[in-house]
Amino acid sequence: MMRDDVDRETGFDENPNEVNEGGAAHSGAPDTQAGNAAGNAAGTPAGNQADSEADILRSELAALSEKLSAAKTESSAATERYMRSRAEFDTYRRRMVDELSMAREKGFDSAVLPVLTVADDLGRALQAAEAATEAASIVAGIRAVHDNLLRSLEVMGVSQVGHVGERFDPQFHEAVAALPPTNPQQAGTIRDVHRAGFAKGERVIRPATVTVYQE
């Protein structure tokens, strides 16, 4: 039998390296295919969709952040407008209260002034009657009327200001004349009252007209 025939029957190969190399080549093929599959995984439609959704979420988050910032700015501006409007309203309300109070006070003054004229007349009549000693009863009657009128004014909160010997106060007194004092203690005091003054608390309705001692 020829050697070639024996080799074919036994499967013997004189070049085992070729078989090994072929076997090695065939045995390494699966690793190469796995590497290619892993490399191509990122480029699949599923991977591209995930990246796209992430980009959309980031864009929406940025838009929401901008809207939140704008809402905060608008809220601060609205709060400032409200506080300004509130302050303006409070100022307006106080002004209206003051104006109403002033109007009431002016109305009160208008009602009191005619009564003060009566008090002036009675005061002058009393002075004239006091000069006539024989008319003591008349003096007593006029004095009673005058005193009653002053008490009525006091009930209304009105008091008489300006009396002889008081220290001159330009807030309550109006000096129409000045005379030198006869002693140092008289300087700056009221010598004569020509017309009584009236005040309600610290607010002068009518100042007293007086003559003062002045050096």
pLDDT tens digit string along 147-172? Answer: 888 888 888 889 999 999 999 999 99
pLDDT averaged over 10-residue windows placed end to end, the chain, 215 residues: 48 48 45 49 64 82 86 86 87 86 82 81 79 73 83 88 94 95 93 94 93 92
| Residue from 163, 167, 170, 172 nearest 213 by CA | 167
Helix (H) or strand (E) holding 104: helix 45-131
Count of Cβ atoms closer than 10 Å to residue 190 Cβ: 21
pLDDT at residue number 163: 94
Q: Residue 59: is it exposed, middle or buried by C-beta count within 10 angstroms (0-12/13-18/19+)?
A: exposed
Return the residue matching tokens 């009930």: 155
pLDDT tens-digit map of 111-132: 788 788 788 888 887 787 777 6
DSSP string computed for 105-118: HHHHHHHHHHHHHH
Report the CATH fold assignment for 158-215.
Answer: Nucleotide Exchange Factor Grpe; Chain A, domain 2 (2.30.22)
Query: Rounded to two decimals, what is the model's pTM?
Result: 0.47
How far apart are alpha carbons 130 and 133 in whole angstroms?
6
- Each residue of 125-154: b (16+ CB within 10 Å) or e? bbeebeeeeeeeeebeebbeebeebbeebe
CA 202, CA 80: separation in Å to the nearest integer? 40
